[in-house]
Amino acid sequence: MIKGYAGRVLEVDLGAQRYSFEPLDEQTARLYIGGKGYGTRLLYDRTEAGVDPLGPENPLIFATGPLNGSVAPQSNRFAVVTKSPLTGGIGNATCGGSFALGMKKAGIDILVVSGRSERPLRIEVDGDASHVEFLDAADLWGKGTYETQELLGKKKNHAVIGPAGENEVLFAGIVSNERIAGRTGVGAVMGSKKLKAVSVWGSRNLEMEDEAKFKEYTKEVRATFKDHPVLGESMKRFGTAGILNTANGRNILPTRNFKKGRFDDAMKISGEWMEEHDLKGVKTSCIHCPVTCGRDVEVEGKGRVKGPEYETLALLGSNLEIGSVEQISEWNYHADDLGMDTISLGATLGFAMELGERGMLDTKLHFGDPAGVTELIQDIAHRRGAGSDLADGSRRLSEKLGGREFAPHVKGLELSAYDPRGSFAQGVEYATTNRGGCHVQGASMYLESIGPLTINPQNLKLKADIPIVQQNLACAINSMVLCIFTTYGIVPKAVHEMDPGSWKYRALAGALENSGSLFRLAQSIKGSPMFWFEKWLTLITGQKFSSGHLQEIGARIFNLERMFNLREGLTAADDTLPDRILNEPTFPGMDSGHPLGQLLPAYYKKRGWGADGVPTKRTLEKLQVTI
Amino acid sequence: MPIYVEVTYDMSKQLGSHRLEMEGSTVREVVEAVRARFADDPAMFETLTARTAVAVNGVLVRFRDRQETKLSDGDTLGFVKAAAGG
Ligand code: SF4
């Protein structure tokens, strides 16, 4: 077995209450690494077109990669892959917490859960004894994710759902510790299987090709991170919320259901504000991660709890015109405990508010007014009354009540917190990303509106190239499985320290913006490892990884996801953005919205797809994507 | 109508507000007016604006006419930091 892998896939059939340990397929691991890549390959091979996402035939795949179980910073994450009940296409999400470490300690790379139980069930996996116990979970059913994990005990590593997953809320997530695999409704799939929790433990250690060098090199990387302006400074001080004022200043902070990109009270929900007014005690981190981007805040009646991330502050804050960290923290706490994705939740609430404002939905909700939201969040999770309609997400709500042109989703997945009208590459990424309107499948905005070295985000230069490189890289990162924030370290400290007004800075940004085809060419070189994640992979597995290798593997995963979506009936027509984003300007002097129509043909061509958005036979062969 | 100026959090601590109203027809004039508010400690202005860019209505002025970018009544001039999060 290749080093870095435990070498085992655990297959669990909930209906028959049977399990088996199977060998990991080395060839698949070489082609897809692990995590999201390996999981997507399994999903594609094991499902028929049209599989019911909430039916027993849809497998729920928990997948780790070769970096998991090591002490590399940002490396304790697992991926969940399944068919999404929210989008009808590929579903996946990644999560921190302790579950990934638990799986690797148990000697399991991949856990495939299939079938469905008739009654609430939980499973316990003793990796050392290679034994799985099927246990009744009626006593836990209905309980929140925090209480459930408390009752299950701290000695084991858990992945659990809350009431939202149990009630098949289409944007329910799976929780490990206080982190959530939030997007695409993976928690609803777990709920449909009546699986409340998976607990796993073991005592195996990760085998590496060159452990001594790995340890020595990791020390160096930790020192680099410590000294890095983002990973060592701003994320430590402000968490992900450090981005909020920048997004507002660049006019891309979703406000009033994506009607505007600027919120008057943005400062009051920013990372800086939180640091001064709301932060309580120690900041939290994922295992082995020195970045500590988690924030603790106080919620009345609940004590010290996990504070909101940037996405939550934007979607439950500016998007609803709520300028209070205390209020958002309370909703965030409920969403985590109920087991729901705060991005889809906030975007769906914003959509409902606009529907109400236009007289299309009978609701007392109003922008800028928190009244009724706490109760509605509970109603959504329990599918009570109007909450049940919102539990199906903004696309289905718009199909039922109208308002398709301002429903904030792509392929059914609600948009995350970067308005693409001020970030054109991000718009192309939203439109083409296989799981839908999500930013962590590429984070193109980092190179055009948020990061330290940005190009003009509102012309056509590189806007079809950046998403390709970023999506490929994200596919690879999510297959290792690493935290996507590791990519923020790619831009060196020296660039962060440049004055944006200086000629040197302008020259560098100009060179990047005008690099044309060189931009992608430079990434495709299969040379030596350049970045820490490439070197870690090389030292752990003994195989050679470089930027070019990761681009190739990432493109393979991305195209396989694309083929899955096409098999499920999605077409090029689904590669779009909400009408509001395409047609309504948010900047003075802007004639229209995002120029997606001008960029998509170039994107398809550069991807090696036909004008119909279908990967050509040659592209699939070149990437060794078998279908 | 005035020009609205939005400053960074750290600047707002010095100025007492994160949103100011000022007069001026170019970016240069308004930036200088903000600098003048730090007359007691000019170095502080330099420190606080290091690694920040200036945007008008969300568009960085380096994509317009930089310091000579013309302003119209009601425009928002912002001091924007590079950031990363997610
Ligand atoms: S950067 Fe934040 S989210 Fe990523 S691994 Fe570290 S603590 Fe977890």
pLDDT value at A621 more than 70: yes
* CATH fold label, A421-623: 1.10.599
**Would you state the structure tokens that stand for residue A550, as one six-digit string?**
């990761």
Calculate mean pLDDT across residues A186-200.
98
Average pLDDT over chain A, rounded to whole? 96
| CA nearest to A387, candidates A361, A359, A354, A413 | A361
Contact across the interface for A485 and B63, Cβ inside 8 Å: no
| CA nearest to A430, candidates A315, A472, A439, A422 | A439
pLDDT digits (tens, 9 = 90+) for A451-503: 999 999 999 999 999 999 999 999 999 999 999 999 999 999 999 999 888 89
Radius of gyration, CA atoms only, chain B: 12
ipTM of this complex prediction, to 2 decimal places: 0.96
Residue nearest to atom 7 of ligand 1 (CA): A285
**Would you state the structure tokens that stand for residue A609, as one six-digit string?**
């797809």
pLDDT digits (tens, 9 = 90+) for A547-571: 999 999 999 999 999 999 999 999 9
In which band, very low, low, confident or very high, does the pLDDT at A516 lie, cut at 50, 70 and 90? very high
Calculate mean pLDDT across residues A60-83.
97
pLDDT value at A284 more than 80: no
Ligand 1 centre and the CA of A231: distance in Å? 9
pLDDT value at A420 more than 90: yes
Q: What is the 3-state secondary structure (H, E, C) of B24-79?
A: CCEHHHHHHHHHHCCCCCHHHHHHHHCCEEEEECCEEHHHCCHHHCECCCCCEEEE
pLDDT value at A279 more than 90: no
Interchain CB contact of B45 with A (< 8 Å): no
In which band, very low, low, confident or very high, does the pLDDT at A589 lie, cut at 50, 70 and 90? confident
What pLDDT does A295 receive? 87
* CATH fold label, B2-81: Ubiquitin-like (UB roll) (3.10.20)
Is-contact A411 A87, C-beta < 8 A?
A: yes
In which band, very low, low, confident or very high, does the pLDDT at B55 lie, cut at 50, 70 and 90? very high
What pLDDT does A591 receive? 87
A285 in contact with ligand 1, CB cutoff 6 A:
yes
In A73-168, alpha helices (H): 99-105, 145-152, 163-166
What whole-number distance in Å separates Cα of residue A189 and Cα of residue A88?
12
What whole-number distance in Å separates Cα of residue A241 and Cα of residue A293?
9
Calculate mean pLDDT across residues A533-554.
97
Is-contact A35 A26, C-beta < 8 A?
A: no
What whole-number distance in Å separates Cα of residue A63 and Cα of residue A32?
12
Is-contact A368 A349, C-beta < 8 A?
A: no
What whole-number distance in Å separates Cα of residue A275 and Cα of residue A245?
14
**Which residues have a Cβ under 8 Å from the Cβ of B67 and sit 6 or more positions away?**
B26, B27, B28, B31, B61
Is-contact A320 A367, C-beta < 8 A?
A: yes
A293 in contact with ligand 1, CB cutoff 6 A:
yes
Calculate mean pLDDT across residues A240-262.
97
Q: What is the DSSP letter of A307?
A: P
Report domain extents, chain A: 8-201, 253-402, 421-623
What type of residue sits at position A265? D
Bridging pattern class, strands A121-126 and A78-83: unpaired
Q: What is the DSSP letter of A369?
A: B
Taking CB atoms within 8 Å and a gap of at least 24, the contacts of B40-47 are B44/B14
Taking the alpha carbons at both ends of chain A, their separation in whole angstroms is 25
A388 in contact with ligand 1, CB cutoff 6 A:
no
| Ligand 1 atom at minimum distance from A293 CA | 2
Task: For A149-204, give the DSSP string.
Answer: HHHH-SSSEEEE--HHHHTT-TTB-EEETTEEE-GGGHHHHHHHTTEEEEEEE---
pLDDT value at B73 more than 60: yes
Residue nearest to atom 2 of ligand 1 (CA): A293
Report domain extents, chain B: 2-81
What whole-number distance in Å separates Cα of residue A42 and Cα of residue A288?
29
What whole-number distance in Å separates Cα of residue A27 and Cα of residue A626?
13
pLDDT digits (tens, 9 = 90+) for A287-337: 999 998 988 999 999 999 999 999 999 999 999 999 999 999 999 999 999
Indicate the SS3 state at residue A547.
helix
| CA nearest to A39, candidates A17, A21, A58, A52 | A58
Q: Which CATH architecture has domain A8-201?
A: 4-Layer Sandwich (3.60)
Calculate mean pLDDT across residues B2-21.
96
Calculate mean pLDDT across residues A344-365.
97
Residue of B nearest to A291 (CA): B85
pLDDT value at A600 more than 70: yes
Contact across the interface for A497 and B10, Cβ inside 8 Å: no
Is-contact A126 A75, C-beta < 8 A?
A: no
pLDDT value at B84 more than 90: no
In which band, very low, low, confident or very high, does the pLDDT at B86 lie, cut at 50, 70 and 90? low
Torsion angles phi and psi, residue A396, rounded to 5: -65, -35
| Ligand 1 atom at minimum distance from A484 CA | 4
**E strand intervals along A400-485:** 409-410, 413-414
Indicate the SS3 state at residue A429.
helix
H-run or E-run covering A378: helix A373-382
CATH of A253-402, one of 3.40.50.1820, 3.40.190.10, 1.10.569.10, 3.40.50.620: 1.10.569.10
Indicate the SS3 state at residue A581.
helix
pLDDT value at A11 more than 90: yes
What whole-number distance in Å separates Cα of residue A31 and Cα of residue A457?
34
Pocket test for ligand 1, best of A94, A485, A532 (most atoms within 8 A of CB): A485
What pLDDT does A529 receive? 87
pLDDT value at A444 more than 80: yes
What pLDDT does B85 receive? 62
Only one residue has tokens 């896939």, namely: A9
**E strand intervals along A406-539:** 409-410, 413-414
Contact across the interface for B83 and A454, Cβ inside 8 Å: no
Question: What proportion of chain A, given as a percentage, has pLDDT over 90?
Answer: 95
Radius of gyration, CA atoms only, chain A: 22
pLDDT value at A580 more than 60: yes
What type of residue sits at position A277? H
Interchain CB contact of B55 with A (< 8 Å): yes
- Which 56-75 residues of chain B touch chain A by CB within 8 A? 57-60, 62-63, 66, 75
What whole-number distance in Å separates Cα of residue A331 and Cα of residue A324?
11
Indicate the SS3 state at residue A512.
helix
What type of residue sits at position A179? R
